Structures are given as structure tokens and as C-alpha cells.
Amino acid sequence: MWFTLVEIMVAITIFMIVMISVMQIFGISMNLTNKVDINRQVQENVKNLTETIKEDIRKNWITWVWTQVDSYDLNSGNWLKLWDIKYYLSNDNENLVRLFDVEKCRELKNNCFLVKDDWITKSKLTNSWVAFENLDFQVMWDKIKKLAINFVMRPSTKKWINSSLIQNSKLIFQTTISQRFVKTN
């Protein structure tokens, strides 16, 4: 029993329609999986860096914050100084030097990360999955000194994530950490 040319063409057409549908479903599920992985990585990075900064603030004193602009506002900026610890943005994986032009972090090709410099060692507080676009520390002087941290974090371009997913997965984060809890009798 032989198949006719029409039967073969119909079978190939039906097979192609089914395969195109399967590939579209696979592509959608891969994008969803990537988005979930990205969100999980961003949340883990935010948790780790806020916990580290919170612990250091409660053990040390907030000395000052500094910005790269000419206004030298010691209450607001993108560089935090505790007693003997500094936090700043960098995009140099080798030397972890402070980035002076934070505007460069907004470009997708630049993957900026937060560095903790405690005079002995320098270490990155974020992993290669995420990059900073902006960072702002602000000290509030109330009865207890508090630090407000504001930043915009996005997925890193080094992980081969498409640019629309990077733009849709930005996290705008703000939190406040008090310097110390003071118990009065």
C-alpha cells in the first residue's frame, strides 16, 4: 500500500502545525522559567545585601554618606561609610574599585555591583545574576540615626537574558535601617 503525494503533503502540513504549536509552548515556558529564576535571584541578592548592611550598621556607627557630585551632602549619596567599612558601586570585577560615574550603571552593557570594603578585604555583595542601575543612601537624624537605602536592581546582561525581560524585571527597592536600638529605663 503506497501513499499518494497529496496524503504525504497533508501529513507533513499537520505535523508542521503541531510542531510549531509545541515550539511556541516551549518558548513561553522557557521565558516563564527564566522570569521566575531572575525574580528569585534578585530577591536573594536583596535579602543578602540588606542583611549584611543591617548587621554592619548595628555593630558599627554610621559615619557619613557621600555623593560624587559637588554638593557634598553628608546626609545623602551613593557611598556609605560606617566606622571602618565602606559600601560603594563598582563595575571592575578584578580590583573592585569605586565607580565615580554612577550614571554608567544605567547602560545595559555595564553591570554594576555593590562592594563592601572593610580595609582588609573587598567583597561583592551581589552575585553575577544582578546589576545595579542606581543606589542612594540617606541618613535620617531622628532620636535614633537611621539609614534609608534606595536602589534599582535589574538582571545582569552577562546571563544572556533578552533585553525585554531585563527591562520588565527591574526591582525598585527602598528600606530603612536604624543604627541601634537604645533601651531606656
Helix (H, G, I), strand (E, B) or coil at 20: helix
**How do residues 97-122 score in pLDDT, each as one tens digit?**
888 877 888 887 888 999 999 888 99
Helix (H, G, I), strand (E, B) or coil at 137: strand
Q: How far apart are the first and last CA of the chain?
A: 98
Residue spans of the domains in the chain: they are 5-178
pTM, two decimal places: 0.76
**How do residues 24-64 score in pLDDT, each as one tens digit?**
999 999 888 888 888 898 899 999 999 999 888 888 877 77
- Residue 99: left if φ>0, alpha if ψ -120 to 50, beta else—which one? beta
Query: Is residue 115 within 8 Å of 122, Cβ to Cβ?
Result: yes
